[in-house]
Structure 1
Amino acid sequence: MELHIVIHGRKDLANQVYEQLRESIESGRLAPGVQLPPSRLLAAQLGLSRKTISDTYSRLTYENYLVGKIGSGTFVNHLTAPTQRRQSAPVLASQKRIDAWQNLSLPLRHPTREGTLRHDFIGGATAKTQFPLDDWRRCTQHALRQMAQARGFYSQPEGVPELRKAIAGHIAFARGVNCVADDVVVCNGAQQALDLIARVLIEPGCTVAMEDPGYAPARLLFAAQGATVASVPVDDEGIRVECIPEDSHLIYVTPSHQMPLGMPMSLARRQALLDKARRIGAIIIEDDYDSEFRYEGRPTDSLQSMDGFGVVAYVGTFSKTLLPELRLGYAVLPATLREAVIQARQVTDWHTSTLPQWALAKFIGDGLLNRHIRRCHGIYAGRRDRILARLAGDLSPWMYAIPCTAGFHMAVMFKHPIDVALLVALMRKVDIGLYPLTGFYHHVPVRNGLIMGFGAIETLDIDPALDRLRDVLTQIA
């Protein structure tokens, strides 16, 4: 790779090279520790004499911009601090749109590695210690062999056929979803599936109905696409169908494990939702994000399996069963949407990386996914039972859990008024992460509570963390 230096004319050659190298170092484009090409090689690339380059390197070394290492070469000096590049701020025609994106509130943004707490009840995350790394490594090696046989072209936007077939078989078995491989589009997580469906269905000003409280990133996504997002309240049976606006183009729900409150949608409410969607011509997005983990009661049918009209787009993810960092999700689409979504996928980012697709196809096909889910089910069930026992015991004067039967988070409500922001701040001081429900509410009155995830916290850490929670509640209540 050539170092980017542009020579104009045949005058002042050494100074041209000097000025460009110095500016690159000061601006940070050439980072500390970067090795420069040998003087002979750079001279040949630029069509200059080696002496011109050697003199320039010597001058920059004298000024502490470069440092020479005997037997290794010439490097950018670590002592050189890059200067901030200054640009005048233009007045942009799209400034309002830029401001709108900059000011988005993201309540579910996960912490960086440096910001991770010792005991974290964050929702939507799993403990990496449960991930079957050795099995995944073998599947990745298989994926590399499959890629070596390919011709080097871009892959299909809808996903590798073997993975689509594996996903269709898995969700038909585990969730009763009525689909074949051709109905499946592989995505970079469930969030991209939502984005693709929204791109196809939403035009500025149209109405999207969703649960309130509900999954905040979905609300932000629909609004960013130009939709008017209608907040529809929920009760113990799920979304209140009669409150869904008649002009809705899209209805977003989490029927198996309502996000964030946790209760499942009743059978009668599911049927009413399907009937209304068919009558008003709306598409339902069923976000089935973590229902593989069920702890009590009989399994409930997916909304898609009850759909006789072709109005449900079923969205799932492997972020909860495997790792969020893999960014693998999928959508099972009705025939009316399928080709349009595939076209949108190709236009936006073409396709998901094929390496993890091949690996996941092998992982599912060899029965490793089901084995992993069974193993994690027992772990998560134990964590859930421990939290529920504490909520029914020494934490019962302050808190109670909303009943839920699936997933790995629960909503915990306070029995008396309490300053939740103060509680969260005090708990962070003792290295414990708690997360209020506030960010999930939009228009309906906020209920005072927490979303308490138990996927990322280790089982042995639960009691010490809840002991500290009890002590803090005793102090501030």
Structure 2
Amino acid sequence: MDVHLTIHGRQNLAGQLYRQLRAGVMDGRLAPGQRLPSTRELALQLGVSRKTTLDVFERLIAEGYLRSRAGDGTFVADAMTRLSPPPTKPATSPATGSIWDEIDDALPMTRTEAPPDYDFVGGVTDKRLFPFDQWRRCVSHALRIQARGRGAYHDPAGEQELRLAVARYLAFSRAVVSHWQEVIITQGAQQALDLLTRVAIRPGEVIAMEDPGYPPARILFAALGARVVPVPVDEEGLIVDALPPNARMVYVTPSHQFPLGMPMSLERRLALLAWAQQHGALVVEDDYDGEYRFEGRPMESLKSLDTAGVVAYVGTFSKTIFPELRVGYVIPPAPLGTALRRARQVSDWHSCTMTQIALAKFMLDGYFAKHLRRMHKEYAARRAALLERLRGDLAQWFTPLPSAAGIHLVAAIRAPHDEAAVIRMAASGSVGLYGTAGMFARAAPRPALLFGYGGIDVAGIQAGLGRLADALSSLRGRAEGPLRQG
């Protein structure tokens, strides 16, 4: 027999033997018509009881993998000839024939190699500072609630307690006043954008968005058949006068423009709302990390200024708790509420109810507000340390752009240094840096780096920027060497 059988331990012997024999038949190592050892002989070889081998053979015969001839033995069934032999070389995957064959990755996926010693990746949080003891109590509460309930599908809009908690939190922190029934819980902000596009945009219609802007949103809109038109930004945010008149949706990040960081001025906010009302367009406000504001007074959200019902407000817990939670929310204009609930139901019905119940308790019991205050203080210290170095010993290479909120900031690279070259140089010292060139769609990219400080503490910032300064000094030394010799 051309199959090596191995028994590990003394647990589930029949199961081990069944899986190995079936795999041998399926992958062709046991050919159709091949004779197998007798059950007695196989039991002696493996050191198991004959009952074990008999049970396995009877199961494989019953399932059609083997056949038995009285007085002759047991053989691999002839029907197995219909199985195609395994490929001798990796097969080429068939094309999907859709936009997914044409687009690049929206953002770098999870690293498979060892992460750098000092990683300035954006959009991540520091889980070491999360109050997991309180979270465990909230999860235990959610488990008790689930244990008492019956197994059933729930409201596609989310659990009532969490929707109430979100409505209360937004009214206090972002001046977004809404009834809890208007809140729809989603799997992160990205699903909120997906649902809004599905219910509000037909294929071929125009969605306008900032340039530079958030690549996953741009790719999502295009994948759903929209025609995405990039609109330039300046120091006041989106240039409203540059909006295409036929845009059916405008996607903006007004509290902390992604990626550059500037807030949209009040004048621009009012102009955008007036434009949307005039043109019958939906404005999608992505307030992805507006909770963290470090300078000046809090800026009004677009939703809080909206009297005409043209703004869908999108938020997420990925930047306030951690991305793995996969909880976001949307407060749409009233006419879209029913359609969004229907779209959510036929998409994945609803998010994990246990997570929703736990998060609701975490918020309603005050743990979330306490955690935010602590993280605001921590991120303020990290931001200050980063800016001090960028404006100090690193000022000859970088100019930080104005940014008063969020957990990342962008620094322009001073000429003549190249974005890719600086990133490679930093990587040689195990410092993870990330450029912004891929976030521009039509506008000419300006060499710049996005410094995320959500996942790296003050000590790491100082050490990482120290290595970066050493690497850049060596780069400058090599560039200037020939000049000194001349």
Fold match (TM-score > 0.5):
yes
Query: Residues 21-54 of structure 1: CA distance to partner in whole angstroms, max 9, x if unpaired?
Result: 3044679xxxxxxxxx9546545655769xx899
The answer to whether the 8 Å contact 2:429/2:468 transfers is no
The answer to whether the 8 Å contact 1:315/1:330 transfers is yes
Q: CA RMSD in A?
A: 2.8
Q: Which whole-Å CA distance do the structure 2 matches of 1:433 and 1:465 have between them? A: 9
Q: Which amino acid aligns with 1:347?
A: V
**Which residue matches 2:438?**
439
Q: Which amino acid aligns with 2:356?
A: Q
Which secondary structure state, in structure 1, belongs to the residue aligned with residue 434 of structure 2?
A: coil
The answer to whether the 8 Å contact 1:409/1:453 transfers is yes
1:198 aligns with 2:197: yes
Per the TM alignment, residue 444 of structure 1 is displaced from its structure 2 partner at its CA by: 0.6
**Which residue matches 1:274?**
273
**Which residue matches 2:97?**
96
**Which residue matches 1:329?**
328
Q: Which whole-Å CA distance do the structure 1 matches of 2:114 and 2:86 have between them? A: 27
**Which residue matches 1:387?**
386
Change (3 A) 1:153 1:42: farther
Q: Which amino acid aligns with 1:447?
A: R
Q: Give the 5 Å matches for 1:294-443.
A: 294-443=293-442
Query: Residues 210-247 of structure 1: CA distance to partner in whole angstroms, max 9, x if unpaired?
Result: 00000010000000011110010001111000111111
**Which residue matches 2:449?**
450
**Which residue matches 1:136?**
135
**Which residue matches 2:79?**
none
Give the number of equivalent residue pairs.
424
Change (3 A) 1:328 1:91: closer
The answer to whether the 8 Å contact 2:311/2:333 transfers is yes
Change (3 A) 1:41 1:460: farther
**Which residue matches 1:263?**
262
**Which residue matches 1:187?**
186
The answer to whether the 8 Å contact 2:288/2:316 transfers is yes
The answer to whether the 8 Å contact 2:407/2:452 transfers is yes
1:21 aligns with 2:11: no
Per the TM alignment, residue 111 of structure 1 is displaced from its structure 2 partner at its CA by: 2.7
The answer to whether the 8 Å contact 1:121/1:433 transfers is yes
**Which residue matches 1:109?**
108
Could you list the runs of 5+ residues in structure 2 that have no partner in the other structure?
A: 1-17, 30-50, 69-73, 76-84, 477-486
Per the TM alignment, residue 422 of structure 1 is displaced from its structure 2 partner at its CA by: 1.7
Q: Give the 5 Å matches for 1:64-75.
A: none
Query: Residues 200-219 of structure 1: CA distance to partner in whole angstroms, max 9, x if unpaired?
Result: 11211110000000001000
Q: Which whole-Å CA distance do the structure 2 matches of 1:113 and 1:354 have between them? A: 31
The answer to whether the 8 Å contact 1:204/1:227 transfers is yes
TM-score (norm 2): 0.82
Q: Which whole-Å CA distance do the structure 1 matches of 2:401 and 2:182 have between them? A: 35
Change (3 A) 1:132 1:110: farther
Q: Which whole-Å CA distance do the structure 1 matches of 2:19 and 2:436 have between them? A: 58
Change (3 A) 1:363 1:423: same
Q: Which whole-Å CA distance do the structure 2 matches of 1:127 and 1:171 have between them? A: 23
The answer to whether the 8 Å contact 1:43/1:53 transfers is no
Q: Which amino acid aligns with 2:272?
A: L
Q: Which whole-Å CA distance do the structure 1 matches of 2:67 and 2:133 have between them? A: 50
Q: Which amino acid aligns with 1:193?
A: A
Per the TM alignment, residue 326 of structure 1 is displaced from its structure 2 partner at its CA by: 0.8
Q: Which amino acid aligns with 1:256?
A: S
Identity across the alignment (%) = 45
Q: Which amino acid aligns with 1:272?
A: A
Which secondary structure state, in structure 2, belongs to the residue aligned with residue 179 of structure 1?
A: coil
Q: Which whole-Å CA distance do the structure 1 matches of 2:446 and 2:136 have between them? A: 44
Change (3 A) 1:18 1:164: closer
Change (3 A) 1:211 1:174: same
Query: Residues 133-190 of structure 1: CA distance to partner in whole angstroms, max 9, x if unpaired?
Result: 1111111001101111221001111001111011111111111112111111100100
1:154 aligns with 2:156: no
Q: Which whole-Å CA distance do the structure 2 matches of 1:156 and 1:229 have between them? A: 32
Q: Which amino acid aligns with 2:192?
A: A
Q: Which amino acid aligns with 2:24?
A: R
Q: Which whole-Å CA distance do the structure 2 matches of 1:272 and 1:18 have between them? A: 69
Q: Please identify the structure whose Cα radius of gyration is greater.
A: 2
Query: Residues 352-410 of structure 1: CA distance to partner in whole angstroms, max 9, x if unpaired?
Result: 01111011001001101110000011110001000111111111111111111110100
Per the TM alignment, residue 415 of structure 1 is displaced from its structure 2 partner at its CA by: 2.2
The answer to whether the 8 Å contact 1:208/1:229 transfers is yes
Q: Which whole-Å CA distance do the structure 2 matches of 1:253 and 1:472 have between them? A: 36
The answer to whether the 8 Å contact 2:159/2:357 transfers is yes
**Which residue matches 1:210?**
209
Q: Which whole-Å CA distance do the structure 1 matches of 2:136 and 2:151 have between them? A: 23
Change (3 A) 1:291 1:151: same
